[in-house]
Amino acid sequence: MKTNFFAMIHRMRYINRWGLMRNTEIENIQEHSHDVAVIAHLLALVRKEYFAGGRICPDPEKVVVMALYHDLPEIITGDMPKPVKYHNAPMEKTYKEIEEGASRTLLAMLPQELSCRYQAWLLPDREDPETKEALELVKAADCFSAYIKCVDEQKVGNREFDRAKLEIEDRLKAFDLPEVRWFMQNALPAYAKSLDEINFDFNFKDPDCDNRSV
């Protein structure tokens, strides 16, 4: 029953993102995956809470796990720059096949019973309606994480990310999802603030949640 799978996950911290860009602060895929999981979870909750009418609302907890593992193949493949990954359709198709192979390699490190459990996260069923919606939220959260990285770099005067920020903003608008617009309007502006500009309220009062489950 011994497994190397979790030791491999631990190595996510060694795979850095933005390899072609001059960074003032290095970001690895472990940190990035946590950011994506937090944001994707929020997007799922916002859809469920405010924009559920007539729409598929994926389980927020399912969305979190999918986000947490969305870049797991990069433990093996590394983080390939987007201009290379999406250079043309054949290149994109080939890279997706390589990522799928990397996921299968990681799954093979698990005992069979656990492998069957993790397969839903590493090789999601893209034909399942709820899974498709969950993946869309993870993709949006992935873009938000990249956008926030650009904001962080601009805050310290690094102009290397100026164009990337504009391109990512266009991709976020293209989602045309109300929960994405909600995040852009209500959560995203705070990322540009300094710590002194963020107000702390130490007189927190418990909200009246009426025993609601999230």
- The Cα-based distances of 194 to 42, 157, 169, 190, 191 in angstroms read 22, 14, 21, 8, 8
Measure the CA angle with vertex 133, ends 88 and 79; round to 5°. 40
Helix (H, G, I), strand (E, B) or coil at 4: coil
Helix pair angle (162-174, 129-155), 10° resolution: 150
19-64 tens-digit pLDDT: 889 999 999 999 999 999 999 999 999 999 999 999 999 999 999 9
H runs (alpha helix) in 111-128: 112-122
Helix (H, G, I), strand (E, B) or coil at 82: helix
Identity of the residue numbered 100: E
User: Model-level pTM?
Assistant: 0.92
The CATH number fitting domain 5-193, selected from 3.50.30.30, 3.40.50.970, 1.10.3210.10, 3.90.226.10:
1.10.3210.10
Percent of the chain predicted with pLDDT > 70: 95
54-96 tens-digit pLDDT: 999 999 999 999 999 999 999 999 887 777 677 688 878 888 8
Measure the CA angle with vertex 204, ends 201 and 208; round to 5°. 140
